[in-house]
Structure 1
Amino acid sequence: MRVLLDTSFIVAFLFDRDVFHHEAVSKVKHLSDTAEFYTIPLVVQETATVICRRCRERGIDHRKALEVYEKFLESINIVDVPYSHKEILEEVKRKDCELSFVDMVLLKSSERLKARILTFDKRLGGA
């Protein structure tokens, strides 16, 4: 089974103080024997931005947090699913901006990869 990781899930998994941390760890343990974990480059970028912001807000050493993130990225597949910027923007507009550009690319990527999205974002079907 293919599983596509969203920023909210990755951040929850990596930050033990995140409200969804235990749930994220539990899901990874439950799926680790049968799942292949993927993400897309836009999520990699968005997650790095969120990690830096959280570290700044909470007085956490961002260098250490980003090193942990880099090691995490080595354990998953980063797949660049081709998409049309125009197509994605049209979908975002059509859905009245309910999903961000990154979320729409993630959704389209999950369809093309036939992958389940792991997220805590309710707009993407998360917790």
Structure 2
Amino acid sequence: MDNNNNGGSSDDDEPSKEDDDAREPEQSSESQSQSELFNIRVAKARLQHAHDRAVLKRKPRYLPFKESRRWARAMWMQNEIDWEDWLNDGRRNPYVPSQPDVVYADSGFSTWHDFLNGPVKD
């Protein structure tokens, strides 16, 4: 008769304690790696969020009034309607404000005619 079939345990049926001990470091190492990866991803997401918030808080950076006017005059627009049509077509220079009359109110903007017309060099 076979001793393995009478309720006794065999080496093939159950892993020994030595096998369990050998597996624990692999499992904890794997879970530790996953935990570190998770922490890195969380830290990266936090940094990205902080950067995005800082960028959104920045004031737009526009050209000085005279340079913006020079650029606008080179575009050959005649009036505010041409300017609005140009903006509505999806065109835009990020360094020239879409509302120069508001942004440059204290910096030299007097009229749309002056802003859009006249010699390119002044």
TM-score (norm 1): 0.23
User: Relative to total residues, which structure has the larger strand share, 1 or 2?
Assistant: 1
Instruction: Tell me which of the two structures has the higher relative contact order, counting C-alpha pairs closer than 8 angstroms and 6 or more residues apart.
Output: 1
Which protein has the larger Cα radius of gyration, Structure 1 or Structure 2?
2
